[in-house]
Chains A and B, each alone.
Chain A
Amino acid sequence: MDKKITDFLVKEIKIGKWMLAPIDLLLFVAAAVFSVMIRISVVDYTAIELPAFVKYGNMLSFVTGITDLLLAVLGSLIVYDLTERKIRAFLTYAILLMLPVLCASCAMWGMGDSIYIFFAVLSLYLLMKGKGNASLVSYGISLFLSRYAFFLLPVYAIAFMQKKNKLMYFIFPFCGVWFRNGIVHQSGYLPVPSFEMERLFVKLRGESLLSQNWPNIFQMIGTDKFIQEYSLVAKVAAASLMLLVIMLVLLRSWEMRGEGIWYVGLVLSILIPYVMPQMDERAGLLSCVLYLLFAMKHPDLYYLAIVQVIITYISFSAYFRGESVIPLSAVALAELFVLLLTIRRADHVFKVQQEEAR
């Protein structure tokens, strides 16, 4: 009797073109239920009494619940494409659905970051699938929704140099930035919490700290001195680093495809917020998602993915509580180690890719 039940649970059956076991479906449903329960637990919290948060916060939490699900499904598809392993794909789905940083950002804080992350990840997926132009459309939407999608720009520049997309399609990212700036910086108004938050930052610019709880370089050298000066210097430094990444990939003739795309995106999503000024707590969200996807291909790096998620949540917590339990300078040091250990993997990733291509 017991054997029958356990055998039934792990016996694969054909569903469509997939071979799935009942235990996979059990995980699929249970992860969805648990993720809903996590969100319900925190949804009543209102982080900021801004009109958009009060009015639309709950609605956005519901909408992002759907995009969280879409992101989890997309993530599992990507992992399956990268690894061709079902178990890892299902694990990705479950982990992404219950990822504390996404739950906190969307259901608790009402920022709706999973929407821009979904489009950013979709755009990288389309690029991986050889649809470079469609990828730029998706990237444009992502840029419209959040400034943090900007970290990925060099990926598309490299893709252009490697003939994976057309220059004309860069109009979409451009439009994305233009519309968002119009809404945030100029007269336009859209009651979206993340826009309203950004609008608040724009008003405060010049007075705001060099880092808003994000554990980056400014947490080690001071966030409240030389604000004007360091802001400009850091932006130029970030642009230089982006250029450096582009040139490095091109000069070393690294063909950016498959996991290489995810790797470059991942490095950028950690590197750029590390030097950019006025980064807030949510600056590390994209890197958490990208790291999880990447770690599924490189399981030996799983610990770095977990550390990245914890670092991001510590940063969230510093905002929610008004202070961090661990000094953010120490967390910034940990983030630096994550960055360096990730960069160390570059040669390995591209060498394996080249060997596979041969």
Chain B
Amino acid sequence: MDDKIRSALTHKISVKKITFTVMDILLFLVLTGFALIMRYALRNVVAGDYKMFFEPWVATLREAGGGIKGLSAEFEYVDYTTPYLTILSFISICPFLNTLLLMKLVSIFFDFVAAFAVMAIVYDRTKNMTYGILGYGALLMVPTVLTNGAMWAQCDIIFTSFVLWSLYFMLKDKPAWSMAFYGIAFAFKLQTLFLAPLYVILWMKGKVKLKHFLFLPLMYVIGMIPSLLAGKSFWELISVYFFQANGQMDIYALSHKFPNIYQLIGTDSFLFEYADAGIWVTLGALMILMYCFARKQYEMNACLLLRMGMLLTMTVVFFLPHMHERYAILVDVMAIVYVFFDFRKLYIPVLTILCSFAGYTVYLAQNNIIPMYVYTILFLLLMLDHARACVKGMQDGKIAVGE
């Protein structure tokens, strides 16, 4: 009997070219169940952002008629683009459940979209479905992913999931698909651009073509269509990101609970001077990294691509002023993928997510048990470690004398 159960559990099933066991299916179901239970436990939490922003926005959309019609609403302040506002507008007229739960459900759905992307990347790398499912489960258990949507009702996972699919297609050497997904991510959130330097490097290395970059404006414009149909002006819709880039809502602190450089030198002094200088320093730091990565001759492999992506994103959030707690979510999810490429680097996702989650704790629980500068130092050390790993990766893949 026991042997029968054992053999049933390890029985291999093949669907197309993918082979997995019954145990894999069980693992998948259990992890999915656990992920859903965790999210269910957080369903009733109402964060400040919901009361201050989301609830009034949804009310405004509802007053304007909801659905596509609701997008004609005039907001006092809104910094979301049409795609997410469209989701909110449909939520506003949804007869089932309340707004908060519906918003959380949307984010939870994309938690799973992102988890499937991780599963696909990991499976593609290892050709082992168990690893793929473990990657899927790991992403769903990441505290920042879990709390972002299910607790806070934020939607950062939407653009993150599209970025993950973009990385998947890039690793599969399908640049057009990759850039299309990257374009969709861009249509949802400006923070997608944190990873843009990586795509420039990939272009320099011949992995992407210049024409593929057209997907960014194209997807953005496609995303605007519902609002255009509702009667909004083209300029108003296109200027959402300019408004965000100016950081007009965030000028009261140089870092919004994110452990970056400003936590070491003070987040409340020289608000205007450092805000401008910080942007130029960030661009300068990115330029130096991009020069370094583009100038040297080496073979770009999947592991190096991920390392570079993480380092570039970390550089942006470390130096750019007005960063929020949630802005390192791209790093968090890439770190989960990365550990399946190099298991010795298990400390990277653990510490990265710890640093990131510290900001969440300060916001959600108003807890500041360990001073934020400690997390900043940790984050800095991780960046230095990544930089070293990138240089080593380039040396390992050297194809000619680069200097």
CB neighbours of A314 from chain B (8 A): 264-265
Q: Any chain B CB within 8 A of the CB of A87?
A: yes
* B287–A27 CB distance below 8 A: yes
- Residue B384 at the A interface, CB < 8 A? yes
**In the bound complex, do residue B203 and residue A41 qualify as a contact, i.e. CB atoms below 8 Å apart?**
no
Which single residue of chain A is at the shortest CB-CB distance from B261?
Answer: A310
Q: Is A35 an interface residue (CB 8 A)?
A: yes
Check A6–B204 contact: CB distance below 8 A: yes
Contact for B273 among A1, A23, A42, A313, CB less than 8 A: A42
CA distance A37 to B373 in the complex (A): 28
CA distance A3 to B203 in the complex (A): 9
- By a beta-carbon cutoff of 8 Å, the part of chain A in contact with chain B is 1-3, 5-6, 9-10, 21, 23-24, 27, 30-31, 34-35, 37-38, 40-42, 44-45, 85-88, 90-91, 94-95, 98, 100, 103, 108, 299, 302-303, 306, 310, 313-314, 316-317, 320-321, 325-326
- Please give, as numbers and ranges, the residues of chain A lying within 8 Å of B295 by CB-CB distance: 10, 21, 23-24, 87
How long is the Cα–Cα vector from A23 to B265 in the complex, in angstroms? 34
Question: Interface stretch among B117-125, B148-156, B276-284?
Answer: B276-284
Could you say which residues of chain B place their CB within 8 Å of the CB of A23? 291, 294-295
The answer to whether A94 touches B287 (Cβ under 8 A) is: yes
B391 and A299: CB pair below 8 A? yes
Q: Is the CB of B280 within 8 A of A303?
A: no
Shortest beta-carbon distance, B31 to chain A, in Å? 38
Picked from B266, B270, B281, the residue with its CB within 8 Å of the CB of A38 is: B281
B263 adjacent to chain A (CB < 8 Å): yes
Please report the C-alpha to C-alpha distance between residue A303 and residue B389 in the assembled complex, in whole angstroms.
13
Shortest 5 CB-CB contacts between residues of A and residues of B: A41-B276, A317-B265, A41-B277, A98-B284, A34-B284
Find chain A residues with CB under 8 A from B346 CB.
Answer: none
Q: Which residue of A lies closest to B297 (CB)?
A: A10
Task: For the complex, give the distance between the alpha carbons of A151 and B277 in Å.
Answer: 31
Cα A172 to Cα B373 with chains together (Å): 45
Which residue of chain A has the shortest Cβ distance to B269 in the bound complex?
A321
- B391 in contact with A34 (CB, 8 Å): no
- Say whether B280 contacts A38, CB under 8 Å: yes
Q: Is B292 part of the binding interface, using a Cβ–Cβ cutoff of 8 Å?
A: yes
User: Quick one: closest B residue to A108, CB to CB?
Assistant: B273
B residues within 8 A CB of A40?
A: 276
Extra contacts besides A100-B281, A317-B265, A325-B266 (16): CB < 8 Å: A2-B209, A2-B210, A9-B204, A10-B294, A21-B295, A38-B277, A40-B276, A42-B274, A88-B403, A91-B292, A98-B285, A306-B380, A314-B264, A317-B264, A317-B266, A325-B265
How near does chain B come to A337, taking the closest CB pair, in angstroms? 12
Q: How large is the interface on B (under 10, 10 to 19, 20 to 34, 35 or more residues)?
A: 35 or more
Minimum distance in angstroms from B18 CB to a CB of chain A: 34
The answer to whether A27 touches B291 (Cβ under 8 A) is yes
- Closest residue on chain B to residue A326 by CB atoms: B373
Of the A-B pairs whose beta carbons lie under 8 Å apart in the complex, a sample of 13, sorted by A's number, is: A1-B210, A24-B295, A27-B287, A27-B288, A38-B280, A42-B273, A88-B403, A90-B291, A91-B291, A94-B291, A310-B261, A317-B269, A321-B265
Residues in B with CB closer than 8 Å to A21 are: 295
For B380, the chain A residues whose CB sits under 8 A away are 306, 310
Indicate whether B232 reaches chain A with its CB closer than 8 angstroms: no
Q: Which residues of A contact B203 (CB under 8 A)?
A: 2, 6
Given A94-B291, A325-B265, residue A42 in contact with residue B204 (CB < 8 A): no
Residues 207-222 (chain B) with a chain A CB within 8 angstroms: 209-210
Within 244-296 of B, Cβ neighbours of A (below 8 Å) are at 261, 263-266, 269-270, 273-274, 276-277, 280-281, 283-285, 287-288, 291-292, 294-296
B284 pairs with A35, CB closer than 8 A: yes
Tell me the bound Cα distance from A87 to B398 in angstroms: 15
CA distance in complex: A316, B273 (Å):
15
* In contact, A303 and B384 (Cβ under 8 angstroms): yes
Chain B contacts for A94, CB-based, 8 A: 284, 287-288, 291
| Residue of A88, A100, A302, A313 with most chain B CB atoms under a 10 A cut-off | A100
> Could you give, for residues 186-209 of chain B, a 1 whenever the CB lies within 8 Å of some chain A CB and a 0 otherwise?
000000000000000001111001
* Complex CA distance for A303 and B281, rounded to whole angstroms: 18
A90: nearest residue on chain B (CB-CB)? B291
Question: Of A2, A38, A42, A95, which one neighbours B206 at CB under 8 angstroms?
Answer: A2
B402 within 8 A of A: yes
Which chain B residues border A45 with CB–CB below 8 Å? 270, 273
Among the listed B204, B288, B296, which residue makes an inter-chain contact with A95, where contact means beta carbons less than 8 Å apart?
B288
Q: Nearest chain A CB to B397's CB is how many angstroms away?
A: 16
Contact of A325 with B277 in the complex, beta carbons under 8 Å: no
Chain A residues with CB under 8 A of B206: 2-3, 6
Across the interface, B270 reaches (CB within 8 A) one of A85, A95, A103, A320, namely: A320
B264 touches A98 (CB 8 A): no
What is the distance, in angstroms, from A70's C-beta to the closest C-beta of chain B? 19
- Residue from the list A24, A44, A313 in contact with B265, Cβ < 8 A: A313
Give, as a whole number of angstroms, the nearest-CB distance from A46 to chain B: 11
Contact status of A91 and B264, CB under 8 A, knowing A2-B203, A38-B281: no
Query: Within 8 Å CB of A44, what residues of B?
Result: 273
Most A Cβ at <10 Å: residue of B281, B296, B371, B373: B281
When the two chains form their complex, are residues A310 and B284 in contact, meaning their CB atoms are under 8 A apart?
no
Docked CA distance A86–B261 (Å): 30
Q: Which residues of B contact A91 (CB under 8 A)?
A: 288, 291-292
> A317 to chain B: which residues have CB within 8 Å?
264-266, 269
What mask results when residues 284 to 318 of chain B are scored 1 for a CB within 8 Å of chain A, else 0?
A: 11011001101110000000000000000000000
Give A278 Cβ to nearest chain B Cβ, in Å.
Answer: 23
